[in-house]
Amino acid sequence: MRSIWRTLDAELWRGVLAIAAAAAVNGASFGAISVASGLPMWVPVAMSLLVFAGGSQYLAVGVTAAGGSPVAAVLGGLLLNARHLPFGLAVGELVGRGWAARLLGSHLLIDESVAFAMAQRDAVRARAAYWACGATLFVAWNLGVLGGAVAGQLVGDADALGLDAVFPAAMLALVLPALKDASARIPALVGAAVALAATPFLPTGVPILLALLGLLAVPRPARKAPEVVA
């Protein structure tokens, strides 16, 4: 098992650690918001350890804070994470064959760990990337949630922490290197413009979906004329 870690290079670790830093900030935001909404500190901490799905956790806190039932929160989380079914099929061979490995590996199945695994050139490297990314983000997220929950109790007002600005800034820092290429920069700017224009008029979350319209601006490769054989 130890030998598979030798397949991971510094570039991959830099990517994993950058995502982990953003996950820690996002976790801190979630912990602070959860406590500020009236939940006891142990709830976001336990949820992060047992669920480990940021989108579902935010949804659950939002539903319960708005007076919704726990059943609605659970159903919403299941619907939100339905994408994990094809993810599991894609990485099923990477987590191992024993029940313990499969249970732990499925718990670490998140968008980032799947993306890092699928980007690798061979199965051994993909397996190492999956476990490295999943485990690193699990630790970073949970430490962030714990820190945010403690800070939320001490400060009281989660907005005073400024976490709503820190996380988007971290995400922007991760995206900027990819925007050096015009083929990626133009669709990103179009998507951002669409989302910003729609934000004042549409419910939360819908402008982000509309940002996908930026994909229409992806340059199409020029078609080569067929060669004429004399």
d(CA 198, CA 192): 10
Given a cut of 80, whether residue 83 has pLDDT beyond it is: no
Instruction: State the average pLDDT for the chain.
Output: 77
Residue 223 has pLDDT above 80, yes or no: no
- Tokens 């718990």 found at: 107
Q: Would you state the pLDDT for residue 160? A: 60
76, with CB counted inside 10 A (0-12, 13-18, 19+), is middle
At 157, the pLDDT band (50, 70, 90 cuts) reads low
pLDDT at 141: 94
The answer to which of 20-24, 38-42, 52-56 has the lowest mean pLDDT is 52-56
> Which of 53, 88, 97 is closest to 73 using CA atoms?
53
User: For the stretch 212-229, what's the b/e string if a residue is b when 16 or more beta carbons lie within 10 angstroms of its beta carbon?
Assistant: eebeeeeeeeeeeeeeee
- Residue 12: pLDDT above 70? yes
pLDDT digits (tens, 9 = 90+) for 104-128: 888 888 878 888 887 777 788 888 8
pLDDT value for 146: 94
Give the separation between CA 8 and CA 124, rounded to whole angstroms: 10
- Whether residue 1 is predicted with pLDDT greater than 70 in this model: the reply is no
The per-residue pLDDT for 5 is 60
- Encoding tokens for residue 81? 């994470």
> Does the pLDDT value for residue 3 go beyond 60?
no
The larger pLDDT score, comparing residue 147 to residue 227, is at 147
DSSP state of 142: H
Predicted local confidence at residue 136, as pLDDT: 92
Greater confidence (78 vs 143) lies with 143
210/64 Cα distance (integer angstroms) = 27
At 164-222, the pLDDT tens digits run: 555 455 556 656 666 777 777 788 888 888 888 887 887 655 676 677 787 777 766 65
- Global pTM value: 0.66
> What was the pLDDT predicted at 2?
52
